[in-house]
Structure 1
Amino acid sequence: MNFELQNHRILVTGATSGIGLDIARTLAELGADLVLFGRNRDKLAELEQELGAHTLAIDITDETAVSMAFTDMPALNGLVNCAGISILDSVLDVKAKDLERIMTTNVTASAVVAREAARHMLAHGRQGSIVNVSSQAAMAALPDHLGYCASKAAMDAMTRVLCLELGPKGIRVNSVNPTVTLTPMAERAWSDPAKRDPMLAAIPLGRFATPREVALPVAFLLSQAASMVSGACLPVDGGFTSH
Structure 2
Amino acid sequence: MEINFHGKRALVTGASQGIGRELVKKLVLCGAKVIAVARNQQLLESLQKEVPSIEIIAADLSNWKNTEEVLSKIGNVDLLVNNAGLAILGPLTEVTEEDVDKVFAINIKSMINVTKQVIKNLLARKAPGSIVNISSQASVAGLANHSVYCASKGAVDAFTRSIALDYGRHGIRVNNVNPTVIMTDMGRLGWSDPKVAAPMLDRIPLGRFGEVDEVVNSVIFLLSDMSSMTTGSNVYVDGGYIAV
**Residue 76 of structure 1 contacts residue 126 of structure 1 at CA under 8 Å; is this kept in 2?**
no
**Residue 12 of structure 2 contacts residue 20 of structure 2 at CA under 8 Å; is this kept in 1?**
yes
Please give the alpha-carbon distance, in whole angstroms, between the structure 2 residues aligned to 1:69 and 1:162: 23
**Residue 11 of structure 1 contacts residue 37 of structure 1 at CA under 8 Å; is this kept in 2?**
yes
TM-score normalized with structure 2 length = 0.96
Q: How many residue pairs end up in the alignment? A: 243
- 1:122-144 Cα offsets, whole Å, 9 max, x none, are 22332110100000000100000
Which AA in structure 2 matches 1:123?
Answer: A
- Is 1:169 paired with 2:170? yes
Please give the alpha-carbon distance, in whole angstroms, between the structure 2 residues aligned to 1:147 and 1:165: 27
CA shift, 1:26, in A, is 1.6
For residue 3 of structure 2, what is the aligned residue in structure 1?
3
- 1:55-113 Cα offsets, whole Å, 9 max, x none, are 11001111111111222323211100000100001122222220121111101111100
- Is 1:21 paired with 2:21? yes
User: Any residues of structure 2 matched to 1:66-145 within 5 Å, and which?
Assistant: 66-145=67-146
State the Cα RMSD in Å. Answer: 1.1
**Residue 2 of structure 1 contacts residue 225 of structure 1 at CA under 8 Å; is this kept in 2?**
no
**Residue 26 of structure 1 contacts residue 212 of structure 1 at CA under 8 Å; is this kept in 2?**
no
SS of equivalent residue, structure 2 residue 15: coil
Which AA in structure 2 matches 1:74?
Answer: G
Q: Which moved more, 1:21-30 or 1:135-144?
A: 21-30
For residue 46 of structure 2, what is the aligned residue in structure 1?
46
Please give the alpha-carbon distance, in whole angstroms, between the structure 1 residues aligned to 2:210 and 2:5: 23
TM-score normalized with structure 1 length = 0.97
Runs of 4 or more off by more than 3 Å in structure 1? none
- Is 1:31 paired with 2:26? no
**Residue 67 of structure 1 contacts residue 116 of structure 1 at CA under 8 Å; is this kept in 2?**
yes
- Greater relative contact order structure (CA < 8 Å, 6+ sep): 1
For residue 235 of structure 1, what is the aligned residue in structure 2?
236
**Residue 85 of structure 2 contacts residue 107 of structure 2 at CA under 8 Å; is this kept in 1?**
yes
Please give the alpha-carbon distance, in whole angstroms, between the structure 2 residues aligned to 1:81 and 1:143: 25
SS of equivalent residue, structure 2 residue 11: strand
Which AA in structure 1 matches 2:21?
Answer: L
Runs of 5+ consecutive residues of structure 2 not aligned to the other structure: none
CA shift, 1:50, in A, is 2.2
Which AA in structure 2 matches 1:182?
Answer: M
Which AA in structure 2 matches 1:19?
Answer: I
Q: Which moved more, 1:149-158 or 1:94-103?
A: 94-103
Please give the alpha-carbon distance, in whole angstroms, between the structure 2 residues aligned to 1:46 and 1:86: 24
SS of equivalent residue, structure 1 residue 16: coil
**Residue 21 of structure 2 contacts residue 47 of structure 2 at CA under 8 Å; is this kept in 1?**
no
Which AA in structure 1 matches 2:221?
Answer: F
- 1:132-164 Cα offsets, whole Å, 9 max, x none, are 000000010000000000000000000001101
Please give the alpha-carbon distance, in whole angstroms, between the structure 2 residues aligned to 1:184 and 1:72: 32
Please give the alpha-carbon distance, in whole angstroms, between the structure 2 residues aligned to 1:45 and 1:191: 29
